[in-house]
Structure 1
């Protein structure tokens, strides 16, 4: 794997799921929660025919909201934070969960004096907890805020796709920044806003689509 940009004072933006950790962290939490109690999983059973919608970028946000609400009925913030902390420890205990070469790349950016931002669609509390468990400090973490209702969790703003650019602008990060890291075509806006795009283990289709859409240099990291 090639070294990150070496000049200091630049900004590097990392996606989280599929870049620093394997898997979808919020979906993993919901599955973990559903397996702990059949009563928790029961409200989601009628939604099972909609599972394929979670695989497509256009339908994923809508389908994810449905499953999130069904699997978090009656959940309050205190209970969520207790569960989420336990889930993070369980997930990180699985061999191979952490993508060590990309975590090393993040630390190399920090050592070079770059500003590092981790921008993710996962819940803010999950993102903060995972980064703390990984021993990552000194980065700006931008996740999705959550609201707690009787009828399940919802996010007033899912930090996904082009919404990441809004979140970045709010903390003073504007295009073009130095480099963006992502594994997903959904992050095209974030990748296109950087002077260099790093694609982490992209599918063949995503790599083709992104290479066609991006005008900046593209690096592909195979793990």
Structure 2
């Protein structure tokens, strides 16, 4: 199975009909915020040990920040996951997901309603996200959507704890889909310019809660108009 991809449906994603395939990003489209970031913040908030480790390793993650903010964020994530093997990580991620689904206004109801309409209409809905696989899969399952195909970021066990294996963002999303035979799709929902590769290959690109500046930038890059939706 492709790293970072989970299929709950019986059908292989590679057999999807492009005219019925619909892609949804997760963070910022279905979920209000960044779910994995909230998980990492939760781990720091409940443990003085991880806070101390973050202080001790400050030179490392500050150096990573010189290269990019994303590298620094993952360095801090690795600190927060220190000591966790695969089973303990899964238990922690799923327990946190169970908490998240009970929080009011944590999800875009309009986005979930749109997704469910596509499912009811018989479309092949695929969630393509930079969120971590176990966390996002549990969230969708708790929302009553356990049968969706999910392409997501995946971690792997390391010497000191869970580590990043594949970060499913940007062009990586399209590459992972193509590896499973999914190369065209009718609709793609996103809230980020980072998803340009995914939006470019969509028959219709949909921006969720996009600012005028972002919409203009995406349309210029695409060379065509995008559909704009405001979801709450």
**TM-score, normalising length from structure 2?**
0.83
Structure 2 spans left out of the alignment, 5+ residues: 1-16
Shift of 1:49: 8.7
Match of 2:10 in 1: none
Relative to structure 1, the CA distance from residue 114 to residue 8 in structure 2 (aligned partners, 3 Å threshold; closer, same or farther) is farther
Rounded to whole Å, the distance in 2 between the matches of 1:103 and 1:59 is 32
Count of aligned residue pairs for this structure pair: 210
Matched, 1:80 2:89: yes
1:161-172 aligned within 5 A: 161-172=170-181
Match of 1:182 in 2: 190
- Native 8 Å contact 2:61 2:72 kept in 1: no
Matched, 1:158 2:167: yes
Matched, 1:29 2:39: yes
Relative to structure 1, the CA distance from residue 134 to residue 42 in structure 2 (aligned partners, 3 Å threshold; closer, same or farther) is same
Match of 2:215 in 1: 207
Shift of 1:60: 4.4
Q: Report 1 or 2 for greater relative contact order, CA contacts < 8 Å, sequence distance ≥ 6.
A: 2
* Aligned alpha-carbon RMSD (Å): 2.2
Rounded to whole Å, the distance in 1 between the matches of 2:188 and 2:93 is 27
Comparing both structures, which one devotes a greater share of its residues to strand? 2
Shift of 1:147: 0.7
Matched residue SS, 1:120:
strand
Matched, 1:106 2:106: no
**TM-score, normalising length from structure 1?**
0.86
Shift of 1:151: 3.0
Rounded to whole Å, the distance in 2 between the matches of 1:49 and 1:215 is 38
- Native 8 Å contact 1:182 1:200 kept in 2: yes
Rounded to whole Å, the distance in 2 between the matches of 1:214 and 1:133 is 35
Matched, 1:40 2:40: no
Match of 1:3 in 2: none
Match of 2:105 in 1: 96
1:46-65 aligned within 5 A: 46=58, 59-65=68-74
